[in-house]
Amino acid sequence: MTLKRFLFVYFLVLLVVFLLVTLLPIAFGPNQNIVSGTGTVVFLDFEGGFYGIFSDNGERYDPVSLSEEFRVDGLRVRFEVKILQDVFSIHMWGKVVSIRHIEKL
C-alpha cells in the first residue's frame, strides 16, 4: 500500500469516527424538545387572532396547527408538544410548537 493510499484511508476512518461521535448523541439522545403538561387554551385577539396554550407552569405555547375541536377559549387541556427551535411566528407570543397529543380535561 502506498503512503498516499494509506493516508487517504487513515483520514477517511478518522472522518467516519468523528461523524459517529458527534452525530450519534444527537440522533439517539434524549429529546429535549418534547414538553408535556396541562394548561388552558386561550384566544389572543392580536395579529389577526389566534389560539395559544397557556400552561399551568407559566409557559406560553403557539401551536402551528390546533384542530378545530380544541379552538375554545378557556378550554382546559393535557398536551404533549414538540418545540420547533428554528421556526418563528408573526404572533410573537410563546414558543412555536407542533402538537403531538392533546386531550380535554
Looking at domain 34-104, its CATH class is mainly beta
- HSE, CB side, 13 Å, CA atoms: give it for residue 54: 12
**Per-residue pLDDT at 18:** 76
Report helix, strand and coil shares of the chain as percent, to nearest 5: 30, 35, 35
How many Å apart are CA 94 and CA 53, to the nearest integer?
A: 9
Would you write out the chain's pLDDT as a tens digit for each of its 105 residues? Answer: 688 888 888 888 888 877 777 766 655 555 678 999 999 999 999 878 999 999 999 999 999 989 999 999 999 999 999 998 888 888 888 999 999 999 999
**Per-residue pLDDT at 17:** 77
**Per-residue pLDDT at 25:** 60
**Per-residue pLDDT at 9:** 84
> How many residues are present in the chain?
105
Asked whether 53 and 40 are in contact (CB, 8 A), the reply is: yes
Asked whether 89 and 96 are in contact (CB, 8 A), the reply is: yes
